[in-house]
C-alpha cells in the first residue's frame, strides 16, 4: 500500500508497484483507517461471539451457561482471556520449541489477513471512491483460498512440533480434512464466479443488485457452508480436536495465550467464512434502507451465519472419520462438479 | 521503489535460502518445510512481476495442495529419529557436478541477458497484465492446444495412478490389511467376531486385556 505512494512521490512509474494494492482502495491514510477499523472491530466481535456461543449452547442444552461475571455473564470472555494470559506456555520435552512458538502465529496471522477481502460497503457509500473493504483485488476468491491453505500449516506445525501422539494425530486429521474439502469449497464458488464474471468480491456483490446469488446458486451455497464448517474444523467436523478421542487434538500441548491464539484464529475463521458467504451468496451490503447502512447489513448477515454455526454445533453429533471422507469425496465433490457444469451451460446459453 | 526493492531482496533471499534448505537439511520434515518457504517466496516474486494470478495459483496449488500432501506423507513416514542417510556412490560425484553445470548455464544466461535490464525500468505492461481475465484469455485462446494437451497429460497420469493403486489391491485379497484396519488393534471383548479368540490377538491386544476384563469372556 505504501508502495504506490512512494512511487508517485519519487515520480517513477504511475502504476502501483504491488498489484495487490489497487488504487481504487483509496489513499494510504484511508487504507490505514480501514485496516485499523476492520481489525479492531472484528477482534472485539470475537469475545462477544464466544460469549454468545456459550450462552446459546446453554440454552440449547437446557442450562444457563456462564452468567456470573458481569451482567448476564458478559464479562466472561474478559475473565477467560485474563486466565489464559496468566497461564504458563509449557513445552513438552519431545517438542520443537521454536516451531511451537510460531504455529499459533501462523494460524492467527492468516486468519486476520483473510479478513481484508470481506467487502463491507458499496464503493462511495461513506464518501470517496473506494470500496469499503480492506483490499479489493482482482484475484479476490483466490486470495481467500491462498491464505486458507496457508492457515493449515499453523495446525500442522503445531501438532507435529508438540511431539505428542494426540497432537500429531489431530494435525494429520486436519491435513486430510482440509485437502478433502478444499476441492469442494473451490468448486462451489466457481459457479458464482462464472455468473458474476469476476473473482473480485466487490464486483461479485455488485452483480447481486437484482437477485442474491443464494437463489440461482442454492446448491453452491449449501456446499460452501458444509465445506466451510469442515475448513474451520468446527463441530460436527471437529475431528482434528475431537476431545473424546484425542484429548484436544493438535492444540493438546499448548497452554496460555498460545492456545488462546489457536482458539481466536478459529473464531476469526468462522467470521471470515461467514463474511465471504455473505458477500458471495447473501448479497453483501445490499439491503433495504440508505446506502450507508451497508456495513450494518453485512454485519447482521454475518452474525446470522455465526448463529447458524453455533446452532449446528449444538444440534449435530461429530462425524465418524469414514463418514467425513465419504461426505467430502463422494457427495460434495460430485455435487459441486455438477453444479459447475450446469452453471457453465446456463451461463453460455442465457 | 524502496519498498519494492526491499520486498524483492527479502523474497529472493527466502527463495534461495529455502532451496538450499531443501538440500542441506537432514530431517525430511524440515526439508519439506524449507520447500514450502521457497514456494511462498516465489509467490512473492511473481507478485512483484505483476503476475497476481500466477502468485495466487502458486500458493493455492503448490504451497496449499501439493505441499500439504508432502508434509502429510513425510510426517507419517519420516520421523525426527530417521534423518536421511548420507548419499552414497556415484551420486556423491555426479550430483554436485550437474548442479555446478546448471549453475554455470544459468549464470551465463543471467549475465548475458538479464543483467542488461537492471538499470532500466523494465518493459511496459498492460493494465490488466497478470489478471485472471488476461491469463484465461491466453490459456483458452492463444495457447489452447498446449493447455489442453497439458490437461490431457495430467488426466493420463491420474488414471495411471488409479490403475497402479488398483493393481496393489491384490495384496488385500491375499489376507493383507484393508486401509481401515491399518494401525488398529484386532477387536477384543464383545466387539470381537469370535469372542473365544479375543485376547489372543497379539501383544498389543493382550496389553489391553490385562487392564480391562472383557465381558464376553465372563458370560
What is the band of B206 on the pLDDT scale with cuts at 50, 70, 90? very low
Task: Give the domain extent around B160.
Answer: 143-184
Which residues on A lie below 8 Å from B57 (Cβ)?
Answer: 142
Cell of A330: 463422494
B3 and B80 belong to one structural domain: yes
| Residue B32 maps to a domain | yes
pLDDT at B17: 92
Q: Which residue has the cell 493447455?
A: B147
B66 and B6 belong to one structural domain: yes
Cell of A285: 451490503
**Is B113 touching A (CB cutoff 8 A)?**
no
| Residue B99 maps to a domain | no
Asked if B121 lies within 8 A of A13 by C-beta distance, the reply is yes
Cβ contact A183:A162 at 8 Å: no
Type and span of the H or E element at A120: strand A119-121
B28 and B51 belong to one structural domain: yes
Residue A83's alpha-carbon distances to A80, A243, B11, in angstroms, are 5, 21, 39
Q: Is the pLDDT of residue A69 over 90?
A: no
pLDDT in tens, A93-144: 777 888 888 888 988 899 888 888 888 877 766 666 667 777 777 788 888 8
Total number of domains constituting chain B: 3
Q: Please tell me the distance from the alpha carbon of residue B77 to that of residue B85, in angstroms, as a whole number.
A: 15
**In this structure, what DSSP letter does residue B63 have?**
I
Mean pLDDT comparison of A84-98, A295-309, B191-205, highest-scoring range: A295-309
| Residue B7 maps to a domain | yes
Supply φ then ψ for residue A119, to 5 degrees: -80, 130
pLDDT in tens, A243-254: 777 777 777 778
Which residues on B lie below 8 Å from A231 (Cβ)?
Answer: none
pLDDT in tens, A21-44: 444 556 777 778 778 888 888 888
pLDDT in tens, B144-189: 999 899 999 999 998 998 888 876 655 555 454 455 555 555 556 5
pLDDT at B208: 46
**In this structure, what DSSP letter does residue B217 have?**
H
CATH number, domain of B62, equals 1.20.120.1200
B42 and B80 belong to one structural domain: yes
- Average pLDDT over chain A reads 81
**Chain B residue with minimum CA distance to A6:** B1
Which residues on B lie below 8 Å from A1 (Cβ)?
Answer: none
Cell of B49: 512481476
**Is A2 touching B (CB cutoff 8 A)?**
yes
Helix axes A140-161, B28-48, angle to 10 degrees: 160
B16 and B73 belong to one structural domain: yes
**Is A7 touching B (CB cutoff 8 A)?**
yes
Residues with Cβ within 8 Å of B193's Cβ and at least 6 positions away in sequence, in order, are B187
pLDDT at B202: 44
| Per-window interface: B 33-52 vs A, CB < 8 A | 33, 36, 40, 43, 47-48, 50, 52
CA distance A294 to chain B (A): 28
Q: Please tell me the distance from the alpha carbon of residue B169 to that of residue B176, in angstroms, as a whole number.
A: 9
CA atoms lying within 13 Å on the CB side of residue B136: 10
Once rounded to an integer, what is the mean pLDDT over residues A322-346? 88
Which residues on A lie below 8 Å from B132 (Cβ)?
Answer: 138-139, 142, 199
pLDDT at A2: 40
ipTM score here?
0.78
Question: Of B65, B84, B103, which residue constitutes the final position of a domain?
Answer: B84
Nearest of A255, A277, A249 to residue A167 by alpha carbon: A249
CA distance B43 to chain A (A): 11
B77 and B153 belong to one structural domain: no
B12 and B70 belong to one structural domain: yes
Q: Is the pLDDT of residue A11 over 50?
A: no
CB-neighbour burial class of residue B9 (10 A; exposed 0-12, middle 13-18, buried 19+): exposed
**Is B10 touching A (CB cutoff 8 A)?**
no
Q: Please tell me the distance from the alpha carbon of residue B188 to that of residue B178, in angstroms, as a whole number.
A: 18
- Which among B33, B53, B75 is the nearest to A172, CB-wise? B75
| Residue B54 maps to a domain | yes
| Residue B109 maps to a domain | no
Supply φ then ψ for residue A125, to 5 degrees: -65, -35
B7 and B21 belong to one structural domain: yes
Mutation target for B interface from A3, A5, A19: give the one with most B CBs within 10 A: A19
**Chain A residue with minimum CA distance to B135:** A139
**Is A199 touching B (CB cutoff 8 A)?**
yes
B177 and B193 belong to one structural domain: no
B193 and B176 belong to one structural domain: no
**Is A325 touching B (CB cutoff 8 A)?**
no
CA distance B200 to chain A (A): 25
Residue A10's alpha-carbon distances to A7, A24, B3, B64, in angstroms, are 5, 20, 12, 37
Q: Which residues pair with A121 in a beta bridge?
A: A132
**Is A347 touching B (CB cutoff 8 A)?**
no
B212 and B180 belong to one structural domain: no
Helix axes B67-77, A165-196, angle to 10 degrees: 170
Residues with Cβ within 8 Å of A348's Cβ and at least 6 positions away in sequence, in order, are none
B149 and B80 belong to one structural domain: no
Please list the alpha-helical segments (H only) found in chain A.
2-9, 28-60, 76-86, 97-115, 140-161, 165-196, 201-206, 218-231, 243-246, 256-281, 294-315, 321-326, 333-349
- Which among B1, B63, B131 is the nearest to A150, CB-wise? B63
DSSP letter string, A317-344: PPPPHHHHHHIIIIIIHHHHHHHHHHHH
Cβ contact A117:A135 at 8 Å: yes
| Residue B172 maps to a domain | yes
Percent share of chain A, pLDDT over 70: 90
Asked if A157 lies within 8 A of B29 by C-beta distance, the reply is no
**Is A20 touching B (CB cutoff 8 A)?**
yes
Strands A132-133 and A119-121: antiparallel
Amino acid at each position: 500500500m505504501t508502495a504506490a505512494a512512494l512511487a508517485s512521490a519519487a515520480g517513477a512509474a504511475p502504476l502501483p508497484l504491488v498489484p495487490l494494492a489497487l488504487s481504487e482502495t483509496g489513499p494510504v491514510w484511508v487504507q490505514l483507517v480501514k485496516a485499523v477499523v476492520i481489525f479492531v472491530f472484528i477482534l472485539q466481535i470475537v469475545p462477544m461471539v464466544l460469549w454468545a456461543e456459550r450462552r446459546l449452547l446453554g440454552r440449547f442444552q437446557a442450562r444457563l451457561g456462564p452468567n456470573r461475571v458481569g451482567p448476564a455473564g458478559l464479562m466472561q470472555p474478559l475473565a477467560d482471556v485474563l486466565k489464559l494470559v496468566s497461564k504458563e506456555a509449557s513445552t513438552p520435552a519431545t517438542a520443537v520449541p521454536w516451531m511451537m512458538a510460531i504455529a499459533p502465529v501462523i494460524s492467527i496471522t492468516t486468519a486476520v489477513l483473510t479478513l481484508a477481502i470481506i467487502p463491507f460497503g458499496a464503493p462511495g457509500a461513506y464518501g470517496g471512491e473506494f470500496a469499503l473493504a480492506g483490499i479489493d483485488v482482482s484475484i479476490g476468491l483466490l486470495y481467500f483460498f491462498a491464505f486458507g491453505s496457508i492457515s493449515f500449516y499453523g495446525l500442522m506445525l503445531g501438532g507435529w512440533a508438540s511431539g505428542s501422539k494426540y497432537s500429531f494425530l489431530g494435525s494429520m486429521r486436519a491435513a486430510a480434512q482440509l485437502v478433502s474439502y478444499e476441492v469442494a469449497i473451490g468448486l462451489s464458488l466457481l459457479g458464482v464466479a462464472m455468473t458474476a464474471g469476476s473473482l473480485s468480491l466487490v464486483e461479485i456483490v455488485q452483480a447481486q443488485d437484482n437477485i442474491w446469488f443464494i437463489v440461482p446458486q442454492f446448491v453452491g451455497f449449501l456446499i460452501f457452508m458444509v465445506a466451510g464448517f469442515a475448513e474451520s474444523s468446527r463441530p460436527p467436523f471437529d475431528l482434528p480436536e475431537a476431545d473424546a478421542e484425542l484429548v484436544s487434538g493438535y492444540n493438546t500441548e499448548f497452554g496460555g495465550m498460545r492456545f488462546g491464539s489457536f482458539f481466536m484464529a478459529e473464531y476469526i475463521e468462522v467470521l471470515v467464512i461467514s463474511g465471504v458467504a455473505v458477500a458471495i451468496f447473501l448479497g453483501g451490503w445490499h439491503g433495504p434502507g440508505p446506502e450507508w447502512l451497508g456495513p450494518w447489513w453485512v454485519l447482521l448477515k454475518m452474525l446470522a451465519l455465526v448463529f447458524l454455526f453455533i446452532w449446528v454445533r449444538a444440534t449435530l453429533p461429530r462425524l465418524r472419520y469414514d463418514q467425513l471422507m465419504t461426505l467430502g469425496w463422494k457427495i460434495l465433490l460430485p455435487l459441486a462438479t455438477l453444479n459447475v457444469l450446469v452453471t457453465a451451460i446456463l451461463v453460455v446459453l442465457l | 521503489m524502496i519498498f519494492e526493492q526491499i520486498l524483492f531482496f527479502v523474497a529472493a533471499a527466502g527463495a534461495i535460502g529455502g532451496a538450499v534448505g531443501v538440500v542441506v537439511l537432514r530431517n525430511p520434515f524440515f526439508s519439506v518445510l524449507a520447500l514450502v518457504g521457497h514456494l511462498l517466496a516465489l509467490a512473492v516474486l511473481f507478485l512483484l512481476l505483476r503476475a497476481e494470478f500466477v502468485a495466487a495459483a502458486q500458493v493455492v496449488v503448490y504451497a496449499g495442495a501439493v505441499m500439504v500432501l508432502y508434509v502429510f506423507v513425510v510426517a507419517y513416514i519420516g520421523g525426527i529419529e530417521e534423518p536421511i542417510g548420507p548419499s552414497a556412490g556415484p551420486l556423491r560425484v555426479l550430483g554436485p557436478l550437474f548442479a555446478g553445470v546448471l549453475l554455470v548455464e544459468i549464470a551465463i544466461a543471467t549475465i548475458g541477458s538479464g543483467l542488461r535490464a537492471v538499470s532500466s525500468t523494465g518493459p511496459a505492461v498492460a493494465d490488466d497484465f497478470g489478471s485472471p481475465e488476461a491469463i484465461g484469455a491466453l490459456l483458452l485462446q492463444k495457447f489452447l492446444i498446449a493447455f489442453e494437451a497439458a490437461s490431457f497429460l495430467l488426466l493420463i497420469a491420474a488414471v495411471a495412478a488409479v490403475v497402479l493403486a488398483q493393481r496393489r489391491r491384490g495384496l488385500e485379497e491375499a489376507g493383507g490389511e484393508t486401509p481401515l484396519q491399518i494401525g488398529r488393534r484386532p477387536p477384543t471383548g464383545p466387539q470381537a467376531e469370535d469372542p473365544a479368540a479375543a485376547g489372543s490377538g497379539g501383544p498389543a491386544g493382550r496389553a489391553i486385556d490385562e487392564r480391562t476384563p472383557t465381558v464376553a469372556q465372563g458370560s
